[in-house]
Amino acid sequence: MGVTRESFPLFRCPKCEQTGWIDEDQFNGRVSIVCAYCDYHETVNWAAEEEGKR
Ligand SMILES: [Zn+2]
């Protein structure tokens, strides 16, 4: 769920699991992601999230 370097710019909503597109600012947590299908709305630095998983 969410987005990884590999999946970017494809984003999968953690809440409704619909897929959408995000830009680099959203990937780096500078701009929030708003899901087009549900009320999911979050600002996450996905680049840093991915680093943390390693
Ligand atoms: Zn959603």
Q: What is the pLDDT of residues 1-54, one digit of tens each?
A: 899 999 999 999 999 999 999 999 999 999 999 999 999 999 999 999 988 876
CA 52 to ligand 1 center in whole angstroms: 24
Residue 5 CA to residue 40 CA, distance in Å, equals 21
Any residues with CB less than 8 A from the CB of 10 and at least 6 apart, and which? 3, 19, 20, 21
CA 42 to ligand 1 center in whole angstroms: 11
Say what the pLDDT of residue 53 is: 77
Query: Using an 8 Å Cβ cutoff, are 15 and 38 in contact?
Result: yes
Q: Is this structure's pTM higher than 0.85?
A: yes
